[in-house]
C-alpha cells in the first residue's frame, strides 16, 4: 500500500512539473508586422486563410487546434496532399471571410495576411477582430502593405513558422522544420556553385493586356535569388502588382516562371507568350524556358524550398 501511495505521489509530482513547464511557456509575445501580439495560452479555435497559410498550419500538425479554413476554393482547387490534411475541417468561406464568419465559428485566432484574407481598411483586420477576442497573426510577406520592410528573404517564411510554433506552444516542431528547410537551402546553394551572372527571370501570374507579376517585395524574388536568378521586376516596389509588357520585353527574361491557378491554365499562359509576335525575340520564348509553379509554391509556405530546387535546376541545369 505504501509503495502504491509513493508511486501515485511521484506520478502526481511529475504531472505537476509537466503542467508547470507547460504553463510557464505562456504568455508569449511575437512580432506581427508592426504589432506585438501576446498570447496567454495557445489558440484552440484557429482559422487560417488561403492555401499556403493553411499548409503552414498543417506542416506544424495544428489541425486539432483549428475549426476551419477560408479563402481556397473561391480561387483555387485543393490538391490531394492538402485535401488529405484538411479532410475533417470545414471551409468556412470560399474567399475572404466576413467578420460574421469568424464570429460564428467562435474563432480565437486568425492566421491571414494583407491581401491574404484581409484588406487595408476592410471589415476584417486585427483592430476590428480584437474586441471579440480574436487575435491575428499576419503573414510577414504581406506586411509591406502597411509598413516599410526590407526585400524578402526565405527567412520571412521561416519567421512565420517559428512564430506559429511559439503561438501554439510547439516550438520543437517549428524549429526542427525550419532547420530542415535551412539545410535543404544550403545544399541547393552548394550545388549551384558560384553564379557570375544571375539568370534573368520574369514571374507571369496572369493577365494578357497587362501582366500581373511579383515585384521586389513578393516571396518569388527571394526564391529566384536563392535559385541563382534575379527577378527582372525587382525595381517595382510592390509585392504582387500589374505592370505593362514593355519593360518585360526590354529586360528580356531568360526564364519565365508561370504561376498556375485559376481558370487560365499554365499551358494557356505559355501558349499566349509563344504565339504572340511581341514576345518572339525573348530569350525565354526562343529557348522554351518556362517553369510552372503552383500557386501554393509561389506564395510563402512549406513548398517554397522544394520549388527553389526546381527553379535552380531550370536556371543552372549544368550545375544541378
How many C-beta neighbours within 10 Å does residue 12 have? 10
pLDDT per residue over 59-99, tens digit each?
999 999 999 999 988 877 666 766 677 778 999 999 999 99
Beta bridge partners of 38: 29
Q: Is the pTM of this model over 0.75?
A: yes
CATH class of 193-315: alpha beta
Q: Which CATH superfamily is domain 25-177 in?
A: Nitrogenase molybdenum iron protein domain (3.40.50.1980)
Please check whether the two domains, 25-177 and 193-315, share a CATH topology.
yes
pLDDT per residue over 143-188, tens digit each?
999 999 999 999 999 999 999 999 999 999 999 999 999 999 999 9
CB 85 within 8 A of CB 105: no
How many C-beta neighbours within 10 Å does residue 310 have? 17
Q: What is the pLDDT of residue 73?
A: 86
Asked whether the predicted pLDDT for residue 262 surpasses 50, the reply is: yes
Domain ranges of the chain: 25-177, 193-315
Task: For residue 27, say if its preceding peptide bond is cis, omega within 30 degrees of 0.
Answer: yes
CB 160 within 8 A of CB 222: no
Rounded alpha-carbon distances, angstroms, from residue 219 to 87, 132, 203: 28, 32, 11
Burial class of residue 316 in the structure, from the number of CB atoms within 10 Å of its CB (0-12 exposed, 13-18 middle, 19+ buried): middle
Alpha helices (runs of H) in 193-234, residue ranges in sequence order: 219-226
pLDDT per residue over 36-53, tens digit each?
999 999 999 999 999 999
Asked whether the predicted pLDDT for residue 20 surpasses 50, the reply is: no
Amino acid at each position: 500500500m505504501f509503495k502504491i501511495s509513493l508511486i501515485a505521489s511521484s506520478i502526481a509530482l511529475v504531472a505537476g512539473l509537466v503542467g508547470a513547464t507547460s504553463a510557464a511557456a505562456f504568455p508569449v509575445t511575437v512580432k506581427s508586422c508592426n504589432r506585438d501580439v501576446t498570447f496567454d495560452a495557445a489558440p484552440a479555435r484557429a482559422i487560417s486563410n488561403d492555401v499556403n497559410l493553411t499548409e503552414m498550419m498543417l506542416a506544424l500538425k495544428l489541425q486539432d487546434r483549428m475549426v476551419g479554413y477560408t479563402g481556397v476554393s473561391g480561387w483555387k482547387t485543393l490538391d490531394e496532399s492538402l485535401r488529405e490534411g484538411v479532410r475533417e475541417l470545414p471551409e468556412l468561406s470560399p474567399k475572404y471571410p466576413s467578420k460574421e464568419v469568424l464570429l460564428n465559428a467562435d474563432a480565437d485566432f486568425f492566421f491571414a495576411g494583407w491581401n491574404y484574407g484581409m484588406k487595408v481598411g476592410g471589415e476584417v483586420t486585427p483592430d476590428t477582430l480584437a474586441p471579440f477576442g480574436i487575435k491575428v497573426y499576419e503573414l510577414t510577406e504581406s506586411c509591406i502593405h502597411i509598413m516599410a520592410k526590407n526585400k524578402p528573404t526565405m527567412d520571412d517564411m521561416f519567421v512565420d513558422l517559428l512564430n506559429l510554433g511559439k503561438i501554439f506552444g510547439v516550438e520543437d516542431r517549428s524549429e526542427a522544420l525550419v532547420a530542415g528547410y535551412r539545410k535543404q537551402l544550403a545544399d541547393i546553394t552548394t550545388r549551384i556553385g558560384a553564379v557570375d551572372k544571375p539568370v534573368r527571370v520574369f514571374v507571369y501570374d496572369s493577365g494578357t493586356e497587362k501582366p500581373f507579376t511579383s515585384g521586389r517585395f513578393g516571396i518569388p524574388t527571394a526564391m529566384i535569388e536563392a535559385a541563382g536568378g534575379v527577378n527582372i521586376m525587382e525595381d517595382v516596389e510592390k509585392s504582387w502588382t500589374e505592370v505593362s509588357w514593355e519593360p518585360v520585353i526590354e529586360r528580356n527574361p531568360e526564364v519565365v516562371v508561370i504561376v498556375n491557378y485559376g481558370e487560365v491554365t499554365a499551358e494557356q499562359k505559355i501558349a499566349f507568350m509563344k504565339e504572340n509576335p511581341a514576345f518572339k525575340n525573348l530569350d525565354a520564348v526562343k529557348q522554351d524556358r518556362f517553369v510552372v509553379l503552383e500557386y501554393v509554391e509561389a506564395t510563402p509556405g512549406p513548398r517554397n524550398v522544394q520549388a527553389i530546387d526546381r527553379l535552380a535546376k531550370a536556371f543552372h541545369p549544368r550545375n544541378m
